[in-house]
Amino acid sequence: MQDSNPVELEILPPHEILDTFENINVAAPMVRFSKLPFRELVSLYDVQVTHTPMILATEFSRSSTARTLDFSTSLTERGSFLLNERTRSSLSNASDNDLLEGDRPAGSRRRQRRVRGSLIAQFAASDPKPFADACELIYPYVDGVDLNCGCPQSWAFQEHIGSWLLGHPERVRDLVRAAKDRLGFSYPVSVKIRVDPDLQRTHQLVETALHAGVSHITVHGRTKNQKSSHPVSLSSIAFAVEVARGRVPVVANGDAWSLPEVETIRKTTGAQGVMSARGLLGNPALFSGYDETPPSAIKEFVRLSTDYGLMFPLFHRHIGFMLESRFNKLERLYWNTLPSYASVLDYLTEQGIDLDL
């Protein structure tokens, strides 16, 4: 759980959090769903790095209406965490999972530090100037920006954004450099990619991103043509980790549905962080070890949604995802008929969920 004591709170960029501390958990950028109430909710359950939904950079840079609809934040959404430093050793290429406790060198005892969580804004872009413009508008309110290079939807490919960029590493380079030139080289700019069936193409894309100056890389372990039902290739993520090793942290993405699966992903890939998307939608407390969404998380999401004014269709779908494992067929059909906040709150109360707000 996040630590609420503000004493000696450190504010670090996301790549330093990933590189410095063990067991870093990341909430994925999800279209529509990674809004402020959900980001703040998962920060209460051991998620140290969160993302906005994927935002279209051109519209965000041109329209104040788009900016209002696409982004909001608060002083409390990031949370704070008591984290364990990674153990450094003379075996520079060995991960913590490779070392037994007795093998750690003298004086390498882990040190705990209190750190504020990080918020990253993710953009979809193809033109460097609108991307840089959007980054300049949002950077005072976030801890880093991310370039989406993996959205597999056909409309995105046709617009030369998302997974289209996987086949155009030179455009990725130009986009990253445009943001760096605008914001300063030290400002964190990351990329989120998918693996390629030809891992040499993955190698080329990772190397190009590194040379452009990215701060970290997130790797989804499916190709752009594989459905979400296709198993994630952890070995392909591990390949990307090896390419980037020692230069920037890597976050592994895909099939993180439970804490045991998260630990398998960490151990198998050697990544510095693990990202979850659909797993967190169904269970925002999965990184805290819960098998299903606890009633306390549902209650907290109700409070956050009403406080921040989350539109009802999103509120309804979020709660539906959280209750999915409890529904039978008739209950699911009934749930889908609920028309308002009040009807949802009545339903939750009838299910024995304490909503004394």
The answer for residues whose C-beta is within 8 angstroms of residue 246's C-beta and 6 or more apart is: 92, 93
Residue from 36, 132, 138, 151 carrying the catalytic annotation: 151
CA distance 317 to 110: 41
Residue closest to 310 by CA, chosen among 32, 26, 27, 31: 32
The answer for residues whose C-beta is within 8 angstroms of residue 238's C-beta and 6 or more apart is: 268, 269, 270, 271
To 10 degrees, what angle do helices 341-350 and 295-308 make?
Answer: 160
SS3 state of residue 271: coil
Single-letter code of the amino acid located at 64: S
CA distance 110 to 113: 10
Residues comprising the binding site? 29-31, 122, 220, 277-278
CA distance 272 to 251: 6
Please, what is the end-to-end C-alpha distance for the chain in angstroms? 21
SS3 state of residue 333: helix
200: number of Cβ within 10 Å: 9
| Residue given tokens 């949370």 in the structure block | 79
Known catalytic residue at 149: no
Residues comprising the binding site for FMN? 29-31, 122, 220, 277-278
CA distance 212 to 189: 10
Residue 320: φ, ψ to 5°? -60, -45
Q: Cβ(221)–Cβ(197) under 8 Å?
A: no
Residue closest to 26 by CA, chosen among 67, 78, 75, 76: 78
The secondary structure of 281-293 as a DSSP string is HH-TTGGGT-SS-
Residues serving a catalytic function are 151
